[in-house]
Structure 1
C-alpha cells in the first residue's frame, strides 16, 4: 500500500470545497466489483482521514483511511478484505471507494465523509441479481451432428473472468466442460466428452455461455446443468438425441394378393409406421414389428395387402414426433401384379389340363374298344374271344405306354416348374438385397461427401486461426517490447493503457489457442473417419457388383429353364398326337381283322 504523508493538511483551492457524490443510484450485480464515486470539488489533496460508513449498520464503518493506512479494528466484518481507495488519486481529491465481490446485502446508502472539512456526500447502491437463463424447451439433435445448448446471463454481463461449469448430474465424473481463468479445465472432464465440447469465447463478454457439443451420440441424451458459481445461479437444459433413416419397400404376391413390406433401420427413439394410398388415406395394416439392436437403434417393419386402385401408388411413412422427423418412401405397383395369377395357380391349372387330356384319351380308347366288341358280338365265340384278347393286349400295351410316358413328362414338368419357382424366389431376394445395398452405398457416399466438406472447412479455419494467432503474437511482442523499453518514461495513464492492451492480447491469444486446439482435434477425427467411410463405400459397391453378377446368372438360368419347359411342353403335345394317331391305326387294324374274321 502506498504511504501518504501523515501530516493532516487540506489545501483548498479558491472558494468553498465540497464533497460530490453521484446524484443517481449506483447499480451493481451480485458478484461483481463496483466503484462508489466521491470527489472533492474543486480538486484538492487529502492526506489524512477519509471515512466511508453505512449509517444503518453497527459498526457503521465500511472503510476508514487514516494516516495513510486502513483502520481495520473499526471496520464492519461484513466488508473485510472487500474495500479500498485509489491511493494514487487521493492527491487529486478522488476518494471513491472500490467494493469487491458485491453481495445482495451490500445494497443501501453509503456516506463519504471528510472530517477535515466536515462535509460529505450520500451515495445510493442498488444491487441486482444476475440470472442464468437456459432453454425452456428440449433441444433436439440428430446423432452425428453438432448441437448448441443455449445458456446466457441475464442481464447480459461479461463472463470472461467468471467460472462456467457444464455438468450432467447423472454421470461420474459429472463435469462436461469447465471454463476457468480464460481456459478449459480438462483434468476433471468426463472422458465421454473429450474433444467434443467448447464455449463461444468471443461471446463470453456478452454473457453468452452456451455449450457447443460436437458429433452427438445417443448416450449424450439427458439433462445438462449450466452453472455460474460467482452468482450461484444455474439453468437445466434437456437434450433429446434422435436417429433416423429412409424406409425400404418390397413387393411380394401370395394367395391373398399383392403384399407390400416396409422396413426402416437406425431409428431413435422408437418411431411409428403408417401406410398411405395415393390419396393420402391411411391403410389398415398388420401390427408393426420392432427390434432394438445392440447399438440402441430401432428397426421397424410393417406389411400390408393392397388392391388395385386408379393410381396403384402407395406410401410407407415412418415418423418420430419427439425429434420431429418423418421419412417416406413411395412405390408404384404395375397393373400386371394384380392380373397375372400366382405361380401356384398356374401349376394347378396346368395339372388339371394335363389330367383332362389323359382322361379324354382314355375315354376315346374305351369307346372305340366297346364299339369293336359290339360289332364282333355275332361272330364265333372262340374267334371272338381270341380277337378280343388280342385287341385287349394290344390296346392295354398302348394305354400303359401312353400313361407311363405322360407320367414321366408330368414329373419332368413339375420338377422344372419347382426349379423355376426357386429361381424366382432367389431373383426377388437378390433384387431386394440389391436395393438395400444401393441405399447403403448412397448413404455412405453422402456421408463421405459431408466429411470431405467439413474437412475443407476445418482446414480453412485452421489456416485462418494460425494467421490470427501469429498476428496477435506479433502485437503482444510489440507491446511487451514497448513496455520494457519505455516503462520509466511513460505516464501512469499510458502504462495502464499498455498493460490493458497487453492483457487483452494475451486473453485473445488464449482464446485462439483453444479454438486452434479444438479445430486440430476435430480435423484429426475427420481425417481418421474419412478413410473408414471410403472403405465402407467401396465395400458396398463391391457387394452391389457381386449381387448384380449373381442376379444376371440367375436370370440366365431362369431363361434356360423357361426354354426347356417350352420344349418339354411341345414334346408332350407331339407325343400325345403321335399316341392318338397310333391308337387310331391300331383300332383300324383291329377292325380290319374283325371284318376278315
Structure 2
C-alpha cells in the first residue's frame, strides 16, 4: 500500500460527565504495529510540573517500546490513564482516562514523534443533567408503566444513591425518618424498603443493566388510580432532580373508583364482533358446501366420461354388440311384446265337470 498512514483523532468533541471513564480516540489510517514505537499523549496549554520538568512537553501519557514512562507524566494522570495492548498491534493508540474530573477539560494531542505525526481530540467534561419527561405518561389502570429518568451522559449509577418520590405525599407515620416520601429508594445496589411507602414496595423496580448507562427509570406494576400524580427522581449527592407526571385514565365515570364492568360501548363492540365472526362462519360454510358440490360434480362427470370411453373401447374390440345388433334385438323384443298383447285370451267360463269314471277311481 502506497502513501503515508496519517493519524486520525476526532473532529467532534468528546462529551462526558464527571466521575465517568472516557476513551480519547487516536489511530493510524492504515493498520501498523505500534508496540515497539514511542507514543506521546499531551494536553495543550499545560505547563510541565516542576519536579518532573525535562522538556517543555507536558505528558498525559508516555509510552516507549512497551513501557509506560511515568517519570515524565503529570502526577494526576499516572494512575488514571492507560492504552490497549491488543489495539496497539493494529495501529490504535487510543487513551483511556478513568474517573474524569472537571480539570480534565481541554484539548489533547496524540503523536508519534519519530514519524512527526499528530492528531487532536477535545474533551468536554460537563455536569450531566437529569432528564425526565416533559409530556405526561398516560396509562390505564391495571397495566404496568415505566417512568423515564436518565442522565444526559452515560454514567454508572450502580453504586450511587437514587431516590424516587411523589410530590405532595406525606411520609407514612410508621416509617417517618424525614419529610421525604419515597416511592423507591436505592443505595449502592440495595433497595431500602424501610423508608418506602408500603403500597409501592412490591410494585416498583429499576433495571440493573440500564443503571450502568445512567438510566434510572422506574417501573410501576399494576397501576391504580391512586398512583396519579407527579413523581420526582433525584441523585441527592449531585443535587440533581427531574420530574415525571403520571396520569391514570379514569374512564367516563370520572370518579376515583374502579370503572364499571358493564358499559354500552363494551356491549356494542362485543355484539359487532359476534356478528362479524358469525358472518365469517356462514360464508365459510357456504363456500365449503359449494366446493364439496363442485368436487362431487367433477367426480360424477369423470366417472361418466370414463364409462363412455370404456364402452367405446369395448365396441371397437367387438366384445359387446354393435349398435345395429342392439337395434335388431330391440325390434324383436318389441314384436314379441306386440304378439303377446294382440293374441286373444281364452274365454272365461265354468270349469268342466269331471268325468264319472274319473270320480269312481277315487
**TM-score (structure 1 length as normaliser):** 0.31
Structure (1 or 2) with the greater helix fraction = 1
**TM-score (structure 2 length as normaliser):** 0.48
